[in-house]
Amino acid sequence: MQSVTLLCVSKTFSADAVREAHAAGERCFGENYVQEALDKIDALSDLRTQLEWHLIGPLQSNKTRVVAERFDWVHSVDRLKIAQRLAEQRPAGLPPLQLCLQVNISGEASKSGLAPAEVPALAQAVAALPRVRLRGLMAIPEPAADTASQRMPHRALHALLESLRGQGLDLDTLSMGMSADLEAAVLEGATLVRVGSAIFGARG
């Protein structure tokens, strides 16, 4: 089986909760809101070189500079304009910012992310940008009650990743699976699961 990275989703939890998870051996943390994340990154600056900070929530263009300067990964890229700004604003002294494209894999009208048909063109364009590295795809499928139905959107995201690889893109990341559907996601080839409440407890 593939190895699976655990991204601890620390949104709404304190910097101290992140510090405890780090002490227990965790290294990768996911946040939805830029300002909340920056407060924690500042509070944990003594651990900065040991932690990877991932933005998993929506990113508006007026926030790209601070994200390019302070984060390690962005999972929620869904427009070329955002990726271009991140590429322009990523400081030259830092390693490339690691990116995933967010795909609206269940086709929900209310969800952010690209339609699957839009993914190949954006992937080629993002892969050509400097100072960022396209790693793969991210999705938040529509909730489903049983594992069999949970597996279908994850399987579709995996197939989309494989088709991009078939077009010559060097991609290694399938960011899929949350507390409620992480088993289904791993069964379908997730390489990174984003887990919040199953680690930190219910959000208030």
Ligand X SMILES: *Cc1c(COP(=O)(O)O)cnc(C)c1O
Q: Does the footprint of ligand X cover residue 124 (CB under 6 A)?
A: no
Of 106 and 197, CB closest to ligand X: 197
For residue 183, CA distances in Å to 29, 100, 151 come to: 20, 21, 9
Q: What type of residue is 107?
A: G
Gyration radius of the chain over CA positions: 16
For residues 197 and 201, give the distance between their C-alpha atoms in angstroms, rounded to a whole number: 4
Q: Write the binding mask 12 to 51 for ligand X: x where contact by CB under 6 A, - elsewhere.
A: --------------------x-------------------
For residues 136 and 170, give the distance between their C-alpha atoms in angstroms, rounded to a whole number: 9
Q: Where are the beta strands (DSSP E) in the chain?
A: 5-9, 28-31, 52-55, 73-77, 97-102, 132-138, 173-175, 192-195
130-159: which residues touch ligand X (CB under 6 A)? 140
Of 86 and 181, CB closest to ligand X: 181
Q: Does the footprint of ligand X cover residue 198 (CB under 6 A)?
A: yes
Of 119 and 178, CB closest to ligand X: 178
Of 32 and 106, CB closest to ligand X: 32
> Would you tell me which residues interact with ligand X (CB under 6 A)?
9, 11, 32, 56-57, 140, 178-180, 194-198
